[in-house]
Structure 1
Amino acid sequence: MTELALADSLSDVLGPKPAEKLAGLGVTTVGELLRYTPRRYIRRGLVADHQRPEPGEWLTIVGRITKSDLIQMKSRRGQFLKVKVTDDNEVYEASFFNPKYIRHQLRPGARVMMAGTVKYFREQIQLSHPEWMILPDGDPEIDHVVGSKMLTEMYAIEEEVTREHSGAHPLVAMFDREILPMYPATKEVQTWDILGAVRRVLDHCAPIPDALTDAQRRERGLVSTDEAIRKIHLPDSEDDVKVASHRLKFDEALAIQTVLAQRRLAGRSESAPPCPHVPGGLEDKLRERLPFTLTEGQLAVGEELAEDLALAQPMSRLLQGEVGSGKTLVSLLAMLRVVDNGYQCAILAPTEVLAAQHHRTMRKMLGDLAEGGELTAAEGATRIALLTGSMKTKGRRETLLDVVTGTAGIVIGTHALLEEKVEFFDLGLVVIDEQHRFGVEQRDVLRNKGRDGRIPHFLVMTATPIPRTVAMTAFGDLETSVLRELPRGRQPISTSVVPMGRKNWVDRVWSRANEEIDAGRQVYVVCSRIGDDDSPEPAPEPEEQKGPKTTSVVELYETLVEGPFAHRRVEMLHGRLAPDEKNAVMDAFGRGEVDVLVSTTVIEVGVDVPNATTMVIVDAERFGVSQLHQLRGRVGRGQHAGLCLLMTNSNEISQSMQRLRAVAGSNDGFELARVDLEQRREGDLLGSLQSGVNTSLRFLSLLEDVEVIEDARGLAEDVVSEDITLLHHRPLADLVDGILVPQKIAYLDKS
């Protein structure tokens, strides 16, 4: 076989069938396979870089059986076999039904490999009826394989390939390494499929070109990329894993920072409409009408926006702030400055509920300043338009006309704004609310809606605080402004965790909510799912593995209307209601005509009802830390203190309970964002960079690797400032492709 290049198709290398299986993982070339690195390693007596698997993940383990018991089922006739396996780091429980044959094979002391879907019961990792095989225990002469069908078939295939290749016994060659790599796998593509393919590719792969010079590697104490790739797949020692991970971590940081540096540099050469302050304009008129004084934070951020808007190159700024810190008002003042200069503004919101909320809030703030073209309009007034996908034809046509003629100075909308038929008269500023809901491609659509080749200014807002290293990575092409200070008059929110297993505590939740209603105030109740035709609950497991069923909006609404809130005005809100119904419910709640709103997370951001003081979140463990912080930010927005009750079935010592205790213990969104990041897969936060492609960072930690990120950022700036297209830095261009493909951003092709 000739030497393989990174771009070579796996179909040519491995054959059509194996390549087709790997394509299910998004792996189609030699380079993509070599970048598909192990998730963890098993060493005899140790597990390196161990992470607890996620529920639903396909997991392969190699270990020794410590216990094997037949157990009588409680809910139906029959027995199942419960086996405990340890790899000396973690204990796993595997359950087998109809265990008549395998009970004699899976005995204590046997060394086994098992593969199955992860479940948890009381923090214990469970594998239900996994694939299994007894492994040789230091005996290379084993000639009879015992195991489930999938693994014994794998053995037969691997036997032919391995013996032809080296004459060694396949199980010894594949699994009797000192350190055994374990890959992210599925039922269709097993860890041994991946390992077998990697071994064959590495045997024939040409040395991988390096993005760093010898001097740059020496300065940082890094091995070559080629050496790192080989050691990360087939390490002979833990030190091999360590040095390989260190290099691949830097490569990830460098790839990301290179793309961000390209974006920043490309942005400097673009032109945007300059928007200086216009004395006596709409911005000044709104400032004069405000019944309160802006906070110091709002004034400072306003100045930063004003300086950017005055320039003839596009503003690219991220405004992140605490829930309720007044971001909407700051952005509205910036928009009015743009309108004062004769340009239009667009606000992109992730949901129709939030878009409608923005429309109501801004019309209320502006009053007759937003009644352009009406008899009651103030002098110089503009018009605010709302555009959503569910609008009826006549209203949509009128709105599109207002947008294309420039009659509407501010256009608020959902993804409907991204459609080709939406044309602006002269777009000067785009405000993206809750950026994590949108990808780069959607930003690019709006970039191209400017006039005469000009790029509109961009303001990206999020109420989910972002740690500095994440901002530097996920939003590294944006300047950052932060609003931490809450406006005077914002009320404190007290948060408590309520165990749902204690009926008296649950009863107290509803009586506490009734006390608030008796005092003339309103209540949100939030559930994790809708429930009327949701996917059915999973099939029952053995008695001891059953988990609590989650509560749906539909079920809880009926329970509350018939029980604790029988004499209250209760409404239901969720994503499957017609848009008109959703708006009607929210309007009624806003007017105080509804006591209790039972809802999904459609009220997560932007919804502002000052009279709502209580938030009850059911099955709170189903929500992330930042999402819980967002949700409770809907209360305490008026003159009364807020109360948030987190109802949960979580075990006292579980990780989910730790999350809930963290939320209850702090109202600081930035502190909670760090907690959130520590418990999540960091790559999920790179949606803005990766356009929603499901690729996570494997080595780089956005919390811990500040110095690596800063070093990579500096190196990327130096290279890109001289060679923005990377024409003379081909290995670096290949590195970016290898790590970020297919999300290497069509952005650069458009620039």
Structure 2
Amino acid sequence: MPASPKSTDPADPARTPLSTLAGVGARTAEKLAARGLLTLQDLWLQLPRRYEDRTRLAPIRGLQPGMPVQVEGVVEAVERGFRYRPSLRVALGDDSRATLVLRFFHFRATQVAQFRVGARVRCYGTPRPGQHGLEMVHPTYRLLGDEEQPGLGERLDPVYPQIEGVGAATMRRLIRQALERLPDDDTLELLPKAVLRERHLPSLRAALLTAHHPPPDADVAALLAGTHPAQRRLVLEELLAHHLSLRRQRITLQRHAAPAFAKAGALADRLRAALPFALTGAQQRVFDQLVRDLRRPVPMLRLVQGDVGSGKTVVAALAALLAVESGAQVALMAPTELLAEQHLASFRAWLEPLGVRVGWLAGKVAGKARTQARAAIADGTLQVVVGTHALMQEGVAFRNLGLVIVDEQHRFGVHQRLALRDKGTEGGRVPHQLVMTATPIPRTLAMTAYADLDVSAIDELPPGRAPVRTVALSAQRRPELIERIRGACAEGRQAYWVCTLIEEDNDKPGEAGSAAGSGARSEMVAQAAQGTFEALCAALPELRVGLVHGRMKAADKQHAMRRFKNGEIDLLVATTVIEVGVDVPNASLMIVENAERLGLSQLHQLRGRVGRGSAESSCVLLYQPPLSQTARQRLATLRETNDGFVIAEKDLELRGPGELLGTRQTGLAAFRVADLARDADLLPVVHGIGDRLLHKAPAVADRLIERWIGGAARYAGA
């Protein structure tokens, strides 16, 4: 059931329900409510996703592919075709002595009759290259009478996000009604006037009116790019609201007490002395930050990000020892059993020689073993517990949980992270939280999405790690690549061949074959991997070829991965289930099939599975030509750099924050107008205003959060 508006107070126009608008009956109100549109304020902030410029006519000769325009011309020829499917082609000419083709795939006989030779047509659409010059596919159009001279639009026409059951014309009419009830500047404005003057930005009322109905003299290019001062004004307030929401939640959480780990750190010193390597400068810097946090009696909330192989796990182990030495328990949660098992092996190798008892709890731990593990967690016998989602289940109780470590935290939902944290809330205290990711997060995204966390970066690889050589090859060169695998394996090295799902949309990165994948999509990836496995077995009969995909039983997956790690498999055919955490130092060749289908960060993660030993390593990105412009940019970026932070910035630019972080998983609400890649320069301003409001005008901060986020504010401390 949709939520109800918080207030129907006529003195508060912002909260006036939409049922007060003409034409909004019960059914329309229900459709709007399903999209979160409940009040007049919701419609004020339902901003156009783009604009159509019907204020001028463009000559056909000057049209540019991909640039939407309005043209007017005379029908020169009409042709119906049925070669592959029904189509209607209309040739339109104008005074510039050029021709544009209008193409329709869905049409009625009456439309064909309308487009008689000599008829005048005005249409709006996006020209694109066709077989015989430029064409518009399914433009909006109007047939004109012989003497008819319709005027041009006075303002840009807004195009709003589609809502099922509510037509575009109805949406425009309702928003126009809502805007007529906008209060005056003094009632509506929440930002300090000095800030607006400093940034040369309009009031909120003026910004909303301009954003919904730009005047004829508006900078069209700026509006289409999202950089018009009216849009920047709205972006500033929206970013500020999200920032305040996260800061407010952090403040709330830090009012709780947390255990202070004040011991000298003798166990951590013993582990460092036993390690066969010295910490890098970046590891030492981040560990020092953790020590400072963990010695304070307020909950640590820190995100540690670091590129593949930068050494986050050993830093987490050192932090765990600080908690253990102070008598607290530690829980380390990973999103997959593969990754959790690897952490378990590392922690046991490092901590058990120091007398620390390390336990294991995952879905496959069943029966008597599960009962015993739960009992040992509850009575404190197990000091460090490594596991998967099973750690959060009802019936798992810790005696004294003091530190929660979450790896690849973006793969867990908000509720899941809270559920584990709440295992340690006895006595009014909450555990410290350390979250880690091997997907470097762009600074702009971290400042916005993780304003409730302190962010640390391990931005230095251990010495001796050579960069992975990356090349992109057309799939037509597959036979020579098979020979390359034969040669590498003959020299005693190992290789991965990663299969991904082929989709129709060339510009949409896939998330194929994740460990948690299910349903038809995962089944298709598994079938593709099975087919590739059989083909490579036939082509390379002398090699030991293994197979891992998300549809296999967990035990079978683990067995195959263990054999590969032990050198009993030469070539592993896999889905992207091996994206995170698998460490096989002898593997020096990675082939990613249909690489153009994956996002930059995912490709970088896959590439990180090789180059972990002393041998020179390569990553081959196999693609199906022709490449789209976006895919070409992705592959070029990977060839040019091995720096995960540079790659993350480019990925943000190409894919947007929602896809990069996984919006539904992080709880990061979708922005209405802000674009983090475009609007990054406003973030320092947002932080400054946020500090002032939280200290001097907390009530204003609450109103900003309510205006832009409302009930979607994220859970405290998640």
TM-score by length of structure 1 reads 0.79
Counterpart pick for 1:553 among 517, 525, 529: 529
Q: 2 CA distance for matches of 1:41 and 1:704?
A: 18
Question: Is structure 2 residue 487 aligned with structure 1 residue 515?
Answer: yes
Alpha-carbon displacement from aligned partner over 1:239-276 (angstroms, at most 9, x marks no partner): 59523202101111210221232234334433211113
Counterpart pick for 1:5 among 13, 37, 44: 13
Which residue of structure 2 aligns with residue 396 of structure 1?
Answer: 370
Counterpart pick for 1:479 among 433, 454, 460: 454
Which residue of structure 2 aligns with residue 179 of structure 1?
Answer: 156
Q: Tell whether the 8 Å contact from 1:272 to 1:314 is kept in structure 2 after alignment.
A: yes
Q: 2 CA distance for matches of 1:136 and 1:178?
A: 22
Which residue of structure 1 aligns with residue 315 of structure 2?
Answer: 330
Matched residue SS, 1:111? strand
Q: Tell whether the 8 Å contact from 1:424 to 1:449 is kept in structure 2 after alignment.
A: yes
Q: Tell whether the 8 Å contact from 1:615 to 1:643 is kept in structure 2 after alignment.
A: yes
Please, which moves more after superposition, 572-581 or 638-647?
572-581
Residues 435 and 677 (structure 1 numbering): CA distance in 2 closer, same or farther, change over 3 Å? same
Question: Is structure 2 residue 85 aligned with structure 1 residue 111?
Answer: no
Counterpart pick for 1:601 among 554, 565, 576: 576
Shift of the alpha carbon at 1:589? 1.4
Which residue of structure 2 aligns with residue 157 of structure 1?
Answer: none
Counterpart pick for 1:253 among 225, 233, 239: 239
Shift of the alpha carbon at 1:136? 6.7
- The residue correspondences of 1:255-654 to structure 2 (distance < 5 A) are 255-278=241-264, 280-281=266-267, 283-363=268-348, 365-366=349-350, 369-370=351-352, 378=353, 381-450=355-424, 451-500=426-475, 502=476, 505-529=477-501, 534=520, 552-562=528-538, 564-652=539-627, 654=629
Matched residue SS, 1:448? helix
Q: 2 CA distance for matches of 1:186 and 1:578?
A: 41
- The residue correspondences of 1:125-204 to structure 2 (distance < 5 A) are 134-135=141-142, 176-185=153-162, 188-204=165-181
Alpha-carbon displacement from aligned partner over 1:302-325 (angstroms, at most 9, x marks no partner): 222112111111222121112111
Which residue of structure 2 aligns with residue 733 of structure 1?
Answer: 702
Which stretches in structure 2 are left out of the alignment for 5+ residues? 1-7, 58-65, 502-511
Alignment RMSD (CA, Å): 3.9
Q: 2 CA distance for matches of 1:83 and 1:299?
A: 69
Alpha-carbon displacement from aligned partner over 1:517-543 (angstroms, at most 9, x marks no partner): 1111211111223799735999xxxxx
Counterpart pick for 2:209 among 218, 222, 230: 230
Question: Number of aligned pairs?
Answer: 666
Shift of the alpha carbon at 1:179? 0.6
One-letter amino acid of the counterpart of residue 30, structure 1: L
Q: 1 CA distance for matches of 2:488 and 2:134?
A: 42
Q: 2 CA distance for matches of 1:204 and 1:338?
A: 57
Q: 2 CA distance for matches of 1:84 and 1:324?
A: 59
Q: 2 CA distance for matches of 1:492 and 1:298?
A: 19
Q: 2 CA distance for matches of 1:81 and 1:682?
A: 40
Q: 2 CA distance for matches of 1:577 and 1:508?
A: 30
Alpha-carbon displacement from aligned partner over 1:269-297 (angstroms, at most 9, x marks no partner): 3321111344543x233222211222222
Percent identity for Structure 1 against Structure 2: 36
Residues 234 and 286 (structure 1 numbering): CA distance in 2 closer, same or farther, change over 3 Å? same
Shift of the alpha carbon at 1:199? 1.4
Shift of the alpha carbon at 1:722? 4.5
Which residue of structure 2 aligns with residue 154 of structure 1?
Answer: none
Shift of the alpha carbon at 1:62? 7.1
Please, which moves more after superposition, 430-439 or 624-633?
430-439
One-letter amino acid of the counterpart of residue 563, structure 2: A
Shift of the alpha carbon at 1:583? 1.4
Which residue of structure 1 aligns with residue 647 of structure 2?
Answer: 672
Counterpart pick for 2:111 among 82, 93, 102: 102
Which residue of structure 2 aligns with residue 32 of structure 1?
Answer: 42
Matched residue SS, 2:520? coil
Shift of the alpha carbon at 1:482? 1.5
Please, which moves more after superposition, 668-677 or 258-267?
258-267
Shift of the alpha carbon at 1:327? 0.8
Q: 2 CA distance for matches of 1:439 and 1:664?
A: 33
Which residue of structure 2 aligns with residue 373 of structure 1?
Answer: none
Residues 109 and 609 (structure 1 numbering): CA distance in 2 closer, same or farther, change over 3 Å? farther
Q: Tell whether the 8 Å contact from 2:331 to 2:403 is kept in structure 1 after alignment.
A: yes
Residues 472 and 109 (structure 1 numbering): CA distance in 2 closer, same or farther, change over 3 Å? farther
Shift of the alpha carbon at 1:648? 0.9
Q: Tell whether the 8 Å contact from 1:441 to 1:747 is kept in structure 2 after alignment.
A: no
One-letter amino acid of the counterpart of residue 196, structure 1: R
Shift of the alpha carbon at 1:507? 0.9
One-letter amino acid of the counterpart of residue 740, structure 1: I
Residues 335 and 41 (structure 1 numbering): CA distance in 2 closer, same or farther, change over 3 Å? same
Matched residue SS, 2:631? helix
Residues 113 and 395 (structure 1 numbering): CA distance in 2 closer, same or farther, change over 3 Å? farther
One-letter amino acid of the counterpart of residue 343, structure 2: H
Question: Is structure 2 residue 705 aligned with structure 1 residue 743?
Answer: no
Question: Is structure 2 residue 684 aligned with structure 1 residue 699?
Answer: no
Shift of the alpha carbon at 1:687? 5.7
Shift of the alpha carbon at 1:493? 0.6
Question: Is structure 2 residue 229 aligned with structure 1 residue 243?
Answer: yes
Question: Is structure 2 residue 188 aligned with structure 1 residue 209?
Answer: yes
Q: Tell whether the 8 Å contact from 2:596 to 2:627 is kept in structure 1 after alignment.
A: no
Shift of the alpha carbon at 1:686? 6.5
Shift of the alpha carbon at 1:60? 14
Residues 43 and 290 (structure 1 numbering): CA distance in 2 closer, same or farther, change over 3 Å? same
Residues 203 and 135 (structure 1 numbering): CA distance in 2 closer, same or farther, change over 3 Å? farther
Q: 2 CA distance for matches of 1:486 and 1:522?
A: 23
Shift of the alpha carbon at 1:113? 5.8
One-letter amino acid of the counterpart of residue 633, structure 2: Q
Which residue of structure 2 aligns with residue 160 of structure 1?
Answer: none
Q: Tell whether the 8 Å contact from 2:253 to 2:716 is kept in structure 1 after alignment.
A: no
Please, which moves more after superposition, 333-342 or 176-185?
176-185
Residues 6 and 267 (structure 1 numbering): CA distance in 2 closer, same or farther, change over 3 Å? same
Which residue of structure 1 aligns with residue 5 of structure 2?
Answer: none
Shift of the alpha carbon at 1:428? 1.1
Q: 1 CA distance for matches of 2:365 and 2:120?
A: 67
Q: 1 CA distance for matches of 2:484 and 2:164?
A: 48
Alpha-carbon displacement from aligned partner over 1:15-73 (angstroms, at most 9, x marks no partner): 123223334433333222222211111113789xxxxxxxxxxx997744889874755
One-letter amino acid of the counterpart of residue 407, structure 1: T
Which stretches in structure 1 are left out of the alignment for 5+ residues? 48-58, 143-170, 371-377, 539-548
Q: 2 CA distance for matches of 1:513 and 1:121?
A: 42
Shift of the alpha carbon at 1:640? 0.9
Matched residue SS, 1:594? coil
Residues 413 and 247 (structure 1 numbering): CA distance in 2 closer, same or farther, change over 3 Å? same
Matched residue SS, 2:716? helix
Q: 1 CA distance for matches of 2:656 and 2:80?
A: 37
Q: Tell whether the 8 Å contact from 2:669 to 2:712 is kept in structure 1 after alignment.
A: no
Q: 2 CA distance for matches of 1:420 and 1:429?
A: 19
Matched residue SS, 2:16? coil
Which residue of structure 1 aligns with residue 508 of structure 2?
Answer: none
Residues 106 and 313 (structure 1 numbering): CA distance in 2 closer, same or farther, change over 3 Å? farther
Matched residue SS, 1:444? helix
One-letter amino acid of the counterpart of residue 396, structure 2: V
Matched residue SS, 2:15? coil
Counterpart pick for 1:656 among 622, 631, 640: 631
Q: Tell whether the 8 Å contact from 2:377 to 2:399 is kept in structure 1 after alignment.
A: yes
Residues 659 and 61 (structure 1 numbering): CA distance in 2 closer, same or farther, change over 3 Å? same
Matched residue SS, 2:620? strand
